[in-house]
Chain A
Amino acid sequence: MKNKPIDEILLAPEIEPERYELLAGPAYHFQVARRDFFKGLGGGVLILFAVKEARAQQESGGGRRGGGRTAPQEISAWLHIGEDGVTTVYTGKVEVGQDIRTSLAQVVAEELRVSITTIRMVMGDTDLTPYDAGTFGSLTTPTMSPRLRKAAAAARESLLDLAAEQTKADRKSLLIADGKVTNPATKQSLTFSQLTKGQRLTRAIADDIALTPPDEWKIAGKPLTKLNGRDIVTGKHQYTSDLKLPGMLYGKVVRPAAFGATPSAIDTKAAEKMTGVTVVRDGDFIGVTAPTPTLAKRAMEAINVEWKTAQQPSSSEIFAHLKKTAAASDGRSATKRGSMTEGLAAAQQKLEQSYNIAYIAHAPLEPRAAVAEWKDGKLTVWTGTQRPFGVRSELASAFRIPEEKVRVIMPDTGSGYGGKHTGETAIEAARLAKAAGKPVKLVWTREEEFTWAYFRPAGVIDIKSGVSSDGKITAWAFHNYNSGSAGIRPVYDIPNQAIEFHSTDSPLRQGSYRALASTANHFAREVHLDELAASVKIDPLEFRLKNLKDQRLQAVLEAVTRRIEWEKRKPVAGRGFGIAGGFEKGGYVANCVEVAVDRTSGKVTILRIVTAFECGAIINPDGLKNQVEGSIIQGIGGALFEAIEFENGKILNPRFSRYRVPRFSDVPPLETILLDRKDLPSAGSGECPIVALAPAISNAIFAASGVRLRSLPMIPNGLKA
């Protein structure tokens, strides 16, 4: 696939190379027309939040086509306080289970001094919400949350201005609470509706408005469970795959026999004879629509295609293949400091090791789904994507129509973990709907999701290092082949470093996965640190602290080791503790894990996982704990047993019966320590807490058994060494 220039695509100034899915060309080449954002808003107060990111905001979501956007370019968020006292918040961010619907509502309610029940969140609808590059990179909490806080604070100040004007009271004496402004002296109180008198007051605000400091928070900073939880437990929430439009048909796509296969002969006669079935062929795209899903499946299966395939590398040879096809460093993610030669010369012990990381799948429980409808020359697609504006661009590009003729709506979706950045399902559903002349729903099967989505990149990491006799790391050469550059730089204080990321020729489609390559890079680094510590016979915790100046990482390491009383731990045969620490996306994490290893059976049991996490001021302690626990549990899979097996362009284990994910019995007792730094800005938490788990488990297995595990997954078939 042809790559596009990076700066066409995203607003982030530095986009990690492993977000391959954002750089790829469109899924299909098919052979192939002014929204008013504020229409329909009644009276009240409208606050527009402007940021000084003019260049970034001019980028369109996927970058393939420009123009067509009519929202003020500099506006990244807004909110409207209606005369009914309901505050509607508009953000292009989306909800995939990380529960920003709740945490964003909390910060708005906090600044507005209203009950959280009066907040309505409108998210991820390209016709209703301001442009947003996407919900990834743990950016909602550090970027969108302060913008909405500022918008809400501006709204509050505007209402106070109005009240002071109307009551001729001293502005400073007025109180705002529960949707009213009150003058305590006269007991006079005015609702928002009385203040705005049916007029719409529009205020654009800049970035410098003062915010309520976290140590004064009353609504934010408190534990809160999911705002729309009742819709979830009653089954009422409609995910994309649950939607049904009048006259809607069901779609299926004929999938190639292997990756990269192209059709050499296509026979669609049998399918075309089926009543109600439409067969759609366009370039290499072959799909069907039918009035029922069963018939759609039958029609798809009735299409015979001969596929031209090409020989491709298999999982058994993947690591050699990645090394063999590696390019020189991409430069952007290379770091050179000091001199490796001098660093190694100063070392008492030198160590060279290689670490392998398998491809794994996100396997979101809701597979990719889209419902597409063409109406009056406009395309509307409901789809579960982390980048609704990016998918809008993909659709505009695929159908060669202007972006204002495309609307993408993202219902709260059955998870993503970085795996739902692209719009392939939306494009397929739209192509089918265009041909059928009716709305079409397309829901990928589990097997399609396991095969045609993108994977977390596999990788090889080579480390060459040196350590002095007093336990200072003197040299650190770190080469990552393919998995990516996120988290590639150590937080440790090492005078001589040579760090490089090498792209390779990946046989599988690969892309973003929770924390990106930070998981792989932390695995290699934190296991290697343990090996270095052992080589100079220094305790792993002491070794880390000796080489560490970063106080935030020190704090989480100390929190987990204090909890398990690290210094007092006693050697028990077949049992051991391991630690690891990490830094990613503004957060700091440390894990301490205890395992039991039965060398006869090869069974490894995790007995206990202690996690300490710190991401600045905590907005929702319960939501944060949920994210940390979820990262740890998901991390168990990648650490111990998840791996995609493939052979010659085919996935061999595209089912939950053959691809093992963590289940209830895999979860040991979890102890989660949250460090609340009210003096620091809030960072996101969806990614960082996954990065230190695998190395902590590996280090614990070493402590328990003397066996070093340097490949992820570590024990797909138990401990055999």
Chain B
Amino acid sequence: MKIVELQVNGNKHRVEVDDEQSLLSVLRDDLDLTGTKYGCGEGQCGACTVLLDGQPTRSCRMPAVNVGSKPITTIEDLEQNGRLHPLQQAFLDHGAMQCGYCISGMLMSGAGLLKKNPQPTEAEILRAMEGNICRCGTYPRIVAAIKQAASGRVAQKGGGK
């Protein structure tokens, strides 16, 4: 066991962690930040995506002891002062969800992309999102939502694609 100091959503947390404990487990089981999901444990589905120093990162494959002082942003911090991130709003506008379990990861991957590349092409969106799985098949709506957030426009409510 080791004591690590993690910077999560702007707050410092001292946590006693097991050497093999993933960042995902620390976030969910120790810090009760359960918006970040477990989906596969091998970095293949993207449900566990968080931003590590702004970079979309699979928290299930990241040992907590290796995170160091890099700031971590989770889904819980995307909404600021009661205002949704434009991408969150775009997901709502496009009905870009079914069961919703993949959505935190989708939002973090999408937010990470937009941070680095505010005007991605469709091909760039697909490349950035390819590692995120939605078993319900809402991919076209997610692409539409990312495009909307990138353009800064506001979609019609409930318009789907």
Contact of A655 among B20, B40, B74 (CB under 8 A): B40
The distance in angstroms between the C-alpha atoms of A664 and B128, with both chains bound, is: 10
CA distance A230 to B135 in the complex (A): 20
User: Does A13 have its Cβ within 8 Å of any Cβ on chain B?
Assistant: no
* A380 adjacent to chain B (CB < 8 Å): no
Bound: A417/B137 CA distance, A: 12
Q: Assuming A655-B42, A664-B126, is B135 touching A365 (CB within 8 A)?
A: yes
Inter-subunit contact A661/B35 (CB<8 Å) = no
Closest chain B residue, CB of each to CB of A627: B98
- Is B157 a contact of A233 with CB atoms below 8 Å? no
Q: How far is the CB of B157 from chain A (nearest CB, A)?
A: 7
Interface string of B83-111 (1 = CB under 8 A from A): 01000100111110111111110010000
**Cβ contact within 8 Å between B18 and A294:** yes
With the chains together, A233 CA to B78 CA distance in Å?
A: 9
Q: A223-B158, A293-B25, A655-B44 are in contact. Are A634 and B135 (CB under 8 A)?
A: yes
Give chain B's interface residue range (CB within 8 Å of chain A): 35 or more
B114 part of interface (Cβ distance < 8 Å)? no
Candidates A241, A292, A657; contact of B44 at CB < 8 Å: A657
Q: Is A662 an interface residue (CB 8 A)?
A: yes
Q: Chain B residues near A656 (CB, 8 Å)? A: 39-40, 42, 44-45, 133
Q: State whether A223 touches B160 (Cβ < 8 A).
A: yes
* In the complex, chain B residues whose CB is within 8 Å of the CB of A222: 158
| Structural contact, B76 and A235, CB atoms closer than 8 A | yes
**Which chain A residues (20-48) contact chain B, with CB distance < 8 Å?**
none
State in angstroms the CA–CA spacing of A163 and B77 once bound together.
49
Chain B 146-160 interface 0/1 with A at a Cβ cutoff of 8 Å (1 = within): 000000000001111
Complex contacts, B140 vs chain A, CB 8 Å: 629, 667, 670
Given A233-B84, A664-B129, A665-B130, decide whether A226 and B95 contact each other with a Cβ distance below 8 A.
yes
Q: Give the interface segment out of A72-80, A94-102, A644-652.
A: A94-102
Give the docked Cα–Cα distance between A626 and B160 (Å).
8
Complex CA distance for A99 and B25, rounded to whole angstroms: 29
With A234-B35, A294-B18, A415-B136 given, is the CB distance from A97 to B157 under 8 Å? no
B94, B99, B143, B159: which contacts A415 (Cβ < 8 A)? B99
Instruction: Write out the residue numbers on chain B whose beta carbons fall within 8 Å of the beta carbon of A366.
Output: 37, 39, 99, 101
Q: How far is the CB of A557 from chain B (nearest CB, A)?
A: 23
B2-22 residues with Cβ-Cβ distance < 8 A to A are: 18, 20-21
> What A residues does B91 contact at CB under 8 A?
229, 233
Interface of A, secondary structure class, is: loop
A670 vs B103: C-alpha distance in the bound complex, in angstroms? 21
Given known contacts A236-B35, A661-B133, A664-B126, is B76 in contact with A414 (CB within 8 Å)?
A: no
Q: Is B72 an interface residue, CB under 8 A from the partner? A: no
**Complex-state Cα separation, A633 to B76, whole angstroms:** 29
Q: What 1/0 mask marks residues of chain A from 627 to 641 whose CB sits below 8 Å from any chain B CB?
A: 101111110000000
Instruction: Tell me whether A294 and B21 are in contact (CB under 8 A).
Output: yes
Q: For the complex, what is the distance from the CA of A415 to the CA of B133, rounded to whole Å?
A: 13
User: Complex: how many Å from CA A633 to CA B98?
Assistant: 13
Size band of the interface chain A makes with B:
35 or more
Task: Give the residues from 639 to 694 in chain A that come closer than 8 angstroms, CB to CB, to chain B.
Answer: 655-657, 661-665, 667, 670
A241 in contact with B38 (CB, 8 Å): yes
Q: Tell yes or no: B75 within 8 A of A by CB.
A: yes
Task: List B contacts of A365 (CB < 8 A).
Answer: 37, 39, 45, 47, 99, 101-102, 133-135
Cross-interface CB contact of A661 among B28, B33, B135, cutoff 8 Å: B135
Q: Does A464 contact B (CB under 8 A)?
A: no
B79 at the interface (CB under 8 A from A): yes
Interface centre among A230, A235, A237 (most CB of B within 10 A): A235
Q: Across the interface, which residues of B come within 8 angstroms of A657, CB to CB?
A: 42, 44
- Closest A residue to B99 by CB, please name it: A97
B130 CB, nearest partner CB in chain A, Å:
5
Chain B hits for A670, CB < 8 A: 140
Question: In the bound complex, do residue A664 and residue B132 qualify as a contact, i.e. CB atoms below 8 Å apart?
Answer: yes
Q: How far is the CA of A97 from the CA of B159 in the complex (A)?
A: 18
Which residues in A have their C-beta under 8 angstroms from that of B100? Answer: 97, 226, 229, 232, 237, 412, 414
Q: Are B99's CB and A413's CB within 8 A?
A: yes
B-side contacts of A412, CB under 8 Å = 99-100
Do A622 and B99 touch across chains, with their CB atoms under 8 A apart? no
Is B41 among interface residues, defined by CB-CB distance under 8 A?
Answer: yes
Chain A residues, Cβ within 8 Å of B45: 365, 446, 656
For B76, what are the chain A residues with a Cβ–Cβ distance below 8 Å? 234-235
Residue A323 CB within 8 A of the other chain = no
Q: Is A224 an interface residue (CB 8 A)?
A: yes
B137/A630 in contact, CB under 8 A: yes
B138 contacts chain A at the CB level, 8 A cutoff: yes
Task: List the interface of chain A (C-beta within 8 A of B).
Answer: 96-99, 222-226, 229-230, 232-239, 241-242, 244, 250, 292-295, 362-367, 412-415, 417, 443, 445-446, 622-623, 625-627, 629-634, 655-657, 661-665, 667, 670
| New A-B contacts (16) at CB < 8 Å, excluding given A98-B98, A364-B101, A367-B39 | A222-B158, A229-B91, A229-B100, A234-B76, A234-B79, A363-B135, A414-B99, A414-B100, A415-B136, A446-B41, A446-B42, A622-B160, A626-B138, A630-B98, A630-B136, A664-B143
A/B interface sample: 26 pairs, CB < 8 A = A97-B98, A99-B98, A225-B93, A229-B91, A235-B34, A250-B29, A292-B18, A293-B25, A295-B18, A364-B101, A364-B135, A365-B47, A365-B135, A366-B37, A412-B100, A414-B101, A446-B41, A446-B42, A625-B160, A626-B98, A630-B137, A633-B139, A655-B40, A663-B132, A664-B125, A664-B130
What 7 A-B pairs have minimum CB-CB distances, sorted nearest first? Answer: A235-B35, A633-B137, A97-B99, A414-B101, A97-B98, A235-B75, A232-B100
Residues of B within 8 A of A (CB): 18, 20-21, 25, 28-29, 32-42, 44-45, 47, 74-76, 78-79, 84, 88, 91-95, 97-104, 107, 125-126, 129-130, 132-143, 157-161
